[in-house]
Amino acid sequence: MATATETPVPPEAGTLGDLIVPRFLRYVRIWTTSDRRVNDTPSTPGQWELAKVLVQELRDLGLSDVELSEHCYVIARIPATAGRESVPAVGFMAHLDTASDVSGKDVKPVVEKNYSGARIDLAGGLCLDPETEPDLAAHRGRDLIHSDGTTLLGADDKAGIAILMTMLEYLDRHPEIPHGPVEIIFTPDEEAGKGLAGIPLEKIRASACYTLDGGPLGELEGECFNAYKADVEFSGKAIHVGTARGILANAVAMAASYACMLPRSESPEATDGYYGYYCPMDIRGDLENARLEVFLRDFEPEGMRRRMEALEHFARAVESQFPGGTVRVNLQVQYLNMKEKIRQRPEVMELLREAFVRAGVEARLKPVRGGTDGSRLTELGIPTPNIFTGGRNYHSRLEWVSVDEMAAACRVVIELVRVWVERAWAEQT
Ligand SMILES: [Zn+2]
């Protein structure tokens, strides 16, 4: 991976950074941790709070076409500049919630202006160590933001929101920049993995969209995992444990036995790049009934089929270990690889690459080892690649974000709006 310093910071990045940082600091202080065990959208009330703040800020930018849907989707439409009304609308998306892996309540962001390059000690004995993080070492002399160590930071995805809000502010301050219709969509519960449940799709006008939900400078993502969730149900046979010999089928032991069959060499911690995995996410139960939740991830449909079959084989193996017990595997798709659908609309990536060039950022195409709302929106027919935001160590207390790189991402999206209108305009005239 290229270090951040190898790519020049685009022009005006300083100014953009000054606009982005106060917004970012405001947004991360709002508690928007989502909860994947809750079925309602949004899953948590804090997401409403951020959504309402954003609606007000969008209106303060002079936008009249701003709505907050019944499921907490913020949709704002920025009209085209005069004469560009017939250009197809381009959309941008970021998510309101933060991951539940680590607390996101009472986030206290710390701004390191002109970072000294020294180890940064955080609460609870944690530290950000430039010795072990080359990207951090490369930020010596630059500005970065981290949490105090008691919570995550929430750059995933409030960096994306701050970048998009700043893009709008920039366009508002520069009415001389021609653009077509632009649509901004802020979504709830991305981290809860509900795949845009409740999105008012009929209201979306964008023919293509871009999510701002990536990592380090230059990352550009047009493919992601195929993702399934398996709820594995274990039905045992309960009886007083003093007289259980030959009768008890212990559902707790069945679930544990099943979890141990998931190959450790195909776990998230043992894989990277294009390797998929199995990941047990939750286990609970008693003697009679137990339940194990397993995430399956694979870039190729063939690999996913193999994993699904393996889960059935493990089920039969556990049944034979525990006479009288039964195991049922219930599979549910979470999102699918967006690669094929994005390939069908080549201009979506071409224009993005052109925007990177103009912004002076070297693009690095990379598979997303996860999904974004973009994967789901792509499935729904709107191709939606993902762009970096400058964050690191997501979903952890060690999360930090580079101010220069947020500014670079902002520069990319401003250029993208420009190339989008230029291309469409050239085709129409
Ligand atoms: Zn995210």
Q: Can you tell me the distance from the alpha carbon of 152 to that of 126, in angstroms, rounded to the nearest whole number?
A: 12
Question: How do beta strands 120-121 and 127-128 pair?
Answer: antiparallel
CATH code for the domain in which residue 71 is found? 3.40.630.10
Same domain, 313 and 412: no
Residue at a domain's end among 335, 350, 384: 335
pLDDT at 8: 38
In this structure, the answer to whether residues 306 and 372 fall within a common structural domain is no
Number of structural domains (the chain) is 2
How many angstroms does the Cα of residue 243 sit away from the middle of ligand 1?
51
pLDDT, tens only, 133-168:
999 999 999 999 999 999 999 999 999 999 999 999
- Signed CA dihedral, 97, 99, 232, 301: sign only: positive
What pLDDT band is residue 426 in, cutting at 50, 70 and 90?
Answer: confident
Q: Name the token pair of 15.
A: 């100014």
- If asked whether residues 209 and 143 sit together in one domain, one would say yes
Question: How much distance in Å is there from the Cα of 65 to the middle of ligand 1?
Answer: 26
Mean pLDDT, the chain, whole residue set: 93
Residue 12: the pLDDT is 54
In this prediction, residue 3 carries a pLDDT of 36
Percent of the chain with pLDDT over 90: 89
Residue 79 sits in the same domain as residue 177: yes
pLDDT in tens, 348-406: 999 999 999 999 999 999 888 887 789 889 999 999 999 999 999 999 999 999 999 99
Rounded to the nearest angstrom, the distance between the alpha carbon of 427 and the centre of ligand 1 is 34
> CB atoms < 10 A from the CB of 241, how many?
10
CA of 394 to the centre of ligand 1 (A): 8
**DSSP state letter for 220:** E
**Which of 335, 363, 389 corresponds to the end of one domain?**
335
Whether 170 and 164 have beta carbons less than 8 Å apart is answered as no
Contact assessment for residue 187 and residue 199, using Cβ atoms and an 8 Å cutoff = yes
Instruction: Assess whether 341 and 214 both reside in one domain.
Output: yes
Q: Tens digit of pLDDT for each residue in 31-85?
A: 999 998 899 999 999 999 999 999 999 999 999 999 999 999 999 999 999 999 9
Indicate the residue among 335, 369, 385 that finishes a domain: 335
Residue 377 identity (one-letter amino acid): L
Please give all residues whose CB falls under 5 A of ion ligand 1, grouped by chain where several chains appear.
156-157, 213
Whole-number pLDDT of residue 308? 98
Q: How far apart are CA 185 and CA 163, in angstroms?
A: 13
The whole domain housing 112 covers 4-224+337-428
Q: Are residues 107 and 197 in the same domain?
A: yes
Cα–Cα distance for residue pair 359/348, rounded to 1 Å: 17
H-helix or E-strand spanning residue 313: helix 301-321
User: Cα of 323 to ligand 1 centre, how many Å?
Assistant: 44
Q: Which residues are catalytic?
A: 97, 190
> 10 and 115, same structural domain?
yes
